[in-house]
């Protein structure tokens, strides 16, 4: 065994001992560590610096009580968190997730991935993540506001344009960011730079709502082109039906693909004529309804209970855009058997470790989340720039910058994989390129 491998294995054992119950966090760490051996062989100074033990420890984890009153006047209590993981290259940056499954392990995995994703954008942002186990589903606007005002009453003590800039994630969109901004402003003063994903009227950026989905498709398009393929006439499976999924559907369709599926946590739709973006947005955003309503209104759409990854029909490209661990090893193998040759991740960590192994062993064109879904946070960073300048850029300008950033991220992943003689292993390419940048920034700041 090489000294590099021995060091990485020891560091992983320490992470396991220190965080025995944080399964999602351990999974994200293992996914990164599994690709780092060539880097440690080339840079033995990283071992001297004990960089791995430092990088897996968040700089700060804040956890707090969020009491609020529901529509019946009953007091409810949720847990709020902010994981400020790494500020080596800029202020902490990353979304807030409101979902009943939220806990420290999930936010640490998301914050950990965010560090490398953010550095891949080439913009000066560190990594963080936060959220709550609050479930916005079925709540009235007033209930969401009541919760959010309590949540921000504590969170505002810990954020700021040069300190930590939250944004949206699952369950947090324009409505929630608007309420958060309102509460921040009541307790402090108007400062556009404190949150991103804001509505346009008070400092939001054009293209931010579209950015993750569009960016995913721009990245995938680059990956396909580099391998002699394109979206044209390809059958695409998308999971999820929220912010990321909607705009992935729209952009992939625009590039000539036929997207036949979307899903939610209850079931999925197969629409062989192609998912209708306008109807999808109407059902999900305007009506805040379930996908069964889409199926009821479109004759060609069939609704099935369960995971979309149980769909057993032919497809070319898979774009998971719902949540972590939606594709396990068996589902990945079934996708490959059904003809899928490319997988690019809109969601964070949607493929488990066995699924990733199946992609890598079978030469699948695989765009890992931290590279493929970086478009959202990239445009968040562009929103921060616009707020600092007190200017707003046009749709064309932001979209062109987004495309450029996604093209560069793919090129970085590809070239790094080639430098290390790893073929089309874009996971290793992205991980190595990002890790080197963060490690070098930390080391040049001393023992931090
Ligand atoms: P939304 O809340 O807009 O949508 C989430 C979608 O995923 C919904 O369709 C939801 O279904 C489904 N979903 C959520 N949890 C589960 C679950 N446990 N099982 C099955 N389906 C589920 O969130 P986003 O579109 O913003 O986020 C989707 C993914 O993309 C997440 O992994 C997020 O971290 C990632 N991401 C988001 C970015 C952004 O800018 N928003 C940026 C980069 C990554 P249901 O309505 O039934 O809950
Ligand atoms: O996972 C992510 O990159 C996000 N949820 C977006 C974070 C951001 O700050 O825009």
Helix, coil or strand: residue 167: strand
User: What CATH number is attached to the domain comprising 92?
Assistant: 3.40.50.10860
Q: Which residues of 111-149 are buried (b: 16+ CB within 10 A; e: fewer)?
A: bbbbbbbbbbbbbebbbbbbbbbbebeebeeebbbbbbb
Residues 26 and 75 placed together within one structural domain of the fold:
no
Residues 232 and 180 placed together within one structural domain of the fold:
no
Please give the model's pTM, rounded to 2 decimal places. Answer: 0.98
Helix, coil or strand: residue 284: helix
Residues 339 and 352 placed together within one structural domain of the fold:
yes
Structure tokens given for 187: 């307790």
Residues 47 and 126 placed together within one structural domain of the fold:
no
The answer to whether residue 397 is domain-embedded is no
Among 24, 90, 92, 94, the mutation site with the greatest number of ligand 2 atoms within 8 A of its Cβ is: 94
Q: Tens-of-pLDDT digits for all 448 residues of the chain?
A: 899 999 999 999 999 999 999 999 999 999 999 999 999 999 999 999 999 999 999 999 999 999 999 999 999 999 999 999 999 999 999 999 999 999 999 999 999 999 999 999 999 999 999 999 999 999 999 999 999 999 999 999 999 999 999 999 999 999 999 999 999 999 999 999 999 999 999 999 999 999 999 999 999 999 999 999 999 999 999 999 999 999 999 999 999 999 999 999 999 999 999 999 999 999 999 999 999 999 999 999 999 999 999 999 999 999 999 999 999 999 999 999 999 999 999 999 999 999 999 999 999 999 999 999 999 999 999 999 999 999 999 999 999 999 999 999 999 999 999 999 999 999 999 999 999 999 999 999 999 9
With a 6 A CB cut-off, is 93 part of the ligand 2 pocket?
A: yes
Helix, coil or strand: residue 176: helix
Position of tokens 């790494």? 86
Nearest to 191 by CA among 199, 201, 200, 181: 181
List, in sequence order, every residue forming a beta bridge with 246; answer none if it has no partner.
none
The answer to whether residue 317 is domain-embedded is yes
- Domain end: 367, 399, 426, which one? 367
Structure tokens given for 217: 């498709």
Domain hosting 151: range is 60-190
At 108-133, the pLDDT tens digits run 999 999 999 999 999 999 999 999 99
The answer to whether residue 413 is domain-embedded is no
Beta strand residue intervals within 154-271, DSSP E: 164-167, 235-238, 258-263, 267-271
Residues 180 and 35 placed together within one structural domain of the fold:
no
Return the H-helix or E-strand segment holding 292: helix 291-297
Q: Which residues are catalytic?
A: 129
Q: Which of ligand 1's atoms lies nearest the C-alpha of 168?
A: 41
Helix, coil or strand: residue 315: coil
CB 140 within 8 A of CB 71: yes
Q: Which of ligand 2's atoms lies nearest the C-alpha of 165?
A: 9
With a 6 A CB cut-off, is 171 part of the ligand 1 pocket?
A: yes
The pLDDT of residue 155 is 98
The answer to whether residue 392 is domain-embedded is no
Residues 260 and 307 placed together within one structural domain of the fold:
yes
The answer to whether residue 133 is domain-embedded is yes
Task: Determine whether 61 is exposed, middle or buried from the number of CB atoms within 10 Å of its CB (0-12, 13-18, 19+).
Answer: middle
Residues 215 and 363 placed together within one structural domain of the fold:
yes
The answer to whether residue 265 is domain-embedded is yes
Task: Determine whether 274 is exposed, middle or buried from the number of CB atoms within 10 Å of its CB (0-12, 13-18, 19+).
Answer: middle
Residues 293 and 164 placed together within one structural domain of the fold:
no
Among 112, 139, 210, 242, the mutation site with the greatest number of ligand 1 atoms within 8 A of its Cβ is: 242
Residues 276 and 355 placed together within one structural domain of the fold:
yes
Residues 150 and 241 placed together within one structural domain of the fold:
no
Q: Which of ligand 1's atoms lies nearest the C-alpha of 322?
A: 7
Return the H-helix or E-strand segment holding 379: helix 375-389
The answer to whether residue 163 is domain-embedded is yes
* Domain count of the fold of the chain: 3
User: Between vectors from CA 219 to CA 85 and to CA 273, what angle results, nearest 5°?
Assistant: 120
The answer to whether residue 441 is domain-embedded is no
Among 110, 169, 171, 350, the mutation site with the greatest number of ligand 2 atoms within 8 A of its Cβ is: 169
With a 6 A CB cut-off, is 321 part of the ligand 1 pocket?
A: yes
Q: How many CB atoms lie within 10 A of CB 400?
A: 13
- Domain end: 190, 219, 241, which one? 190
Position of tokens 């990854």? 309
The pLDDT of residue 23 is 98
Q: Given strand 92-98, what is the order of strands in its sheet? A: 60-69, 75-86, 126-132, 92-98, 164-167
- Domain end: 159, 190, 221, which one? 190
Residues 362 and 270 placed together within one structural domain of the fold:
yes
Ligand 2 mean position, distance from CA 349 (Å): 13
Return d(Cα 365, Cα 223) in angstroms, integer: 7
Residues 89 and 151 placed together within one structural domain of the fold:
yes
With a 6 A CB cut-off, is 131 part of the ligand 1 pocket?
A: no
The pLDDT of residue 67 is 98
Return d(Cα 158, Cα 82) in angstroms, integer: 9
At 394-434, the pLDDT tens digits run 999 999 999 999 999 999 999 999 999 999 999 999 999 99
Ligand 1 mean position, distance from CA 112 (Å): 18
With a 6 A CB cut-off, is 215 part of the ligand 1 pocket?
A: no
Return d(Cα 242, Cα 226) in angstroms, integer: 29
User: What CATH number is attached to the domain comprising 331?
Assistant: 3.40.50.720
């Amino acid at each position: 065994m090489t000294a590099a491998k021995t060091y990485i294995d020891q560091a992983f054992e320490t992470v396991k001992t220190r965080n025995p119950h944080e399964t999602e966090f351990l999974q994200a760490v293992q996914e990164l560590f599994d690709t780092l051996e060539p880097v440690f062989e080339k840079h033995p100074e990283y071992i001297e610096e004990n960089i791995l033990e430092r990088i897996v420890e968040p700089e700060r984890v804040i956890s707090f009580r969020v009491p609020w009153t529901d529509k019946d006047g009953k007091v409810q209590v949720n847990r709020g968190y902010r994981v400020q993981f790494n500020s080596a290259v800029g202020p902490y940056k990353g979304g807030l997730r409101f979902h009943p499954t939220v806990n420290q392990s999930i936010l640490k995995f998301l914050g950990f991935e965010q560090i490398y994703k953010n550095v891949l954008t080439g913009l000066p942002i560190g990594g963080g993540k936060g959220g709550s186990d609050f479930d916005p589903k079925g709540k009235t606007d007033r209930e969401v506001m009541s919760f959010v005002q309590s949540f921000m009453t504590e969170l505002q003590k810990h954020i700021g344009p040069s300190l930590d800039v939250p944004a949206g994630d699952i369950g947090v969109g324009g409505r929630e960011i608007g309420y958060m901004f309102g509460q921040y402003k009541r307790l402090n003063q108007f400062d556009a730079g404190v949150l991103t994903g804001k509505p346009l009227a008070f400092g939001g950026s054009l293209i931010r709502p579209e950015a993750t989905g569009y960016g995913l498709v721009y990245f995938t398009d680059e990956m396909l082109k580099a391998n002699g393929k394109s979206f044209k006439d390809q059958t695409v499976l998308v999971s999820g039906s929220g912010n990321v999924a909607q705009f992935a559907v729209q952009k992939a369709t625009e590039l000539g693909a036929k997207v036949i599926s979307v899903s939610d946590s209850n079931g999925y739709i197969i629409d062989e004529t192609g998912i209708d973006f306008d109807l999808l947005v109407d059902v999900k955003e305007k009506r805040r309804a379930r996908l069964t309503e889409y199926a009821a209104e479109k004759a060609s759409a069939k609704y099935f209970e369960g995971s979309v990854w149980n769909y057993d029909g032919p497809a070319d490209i898979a774009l998971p855009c719902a949540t972590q661990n939606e594709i396990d090893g068996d589902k990945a193998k079934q996708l490959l058997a059904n003809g899928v040759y490319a997988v690019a991740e809109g969601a964070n960590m949607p493929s488990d470790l066995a699924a990733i192994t199946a992609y890598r062993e079978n030469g699948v064109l695989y765009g890992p989340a931290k590279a493929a879904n970086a478009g959202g946070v990239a445009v968040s960073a562009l929103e921060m720039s616009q707020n600092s300048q007190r200017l707003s850029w046009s749709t064309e300008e932001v979209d062109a910058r987004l495309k450029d950033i996604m093209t560069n991220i793919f090129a970085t992943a590809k070239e790094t994989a080639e430098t290390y003689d790893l073929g089309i292993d874009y996971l290793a390419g992205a991980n190595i390129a990002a890790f080197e940048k963060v490690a070098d920034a930390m080391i040049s700041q001393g023992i931090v």
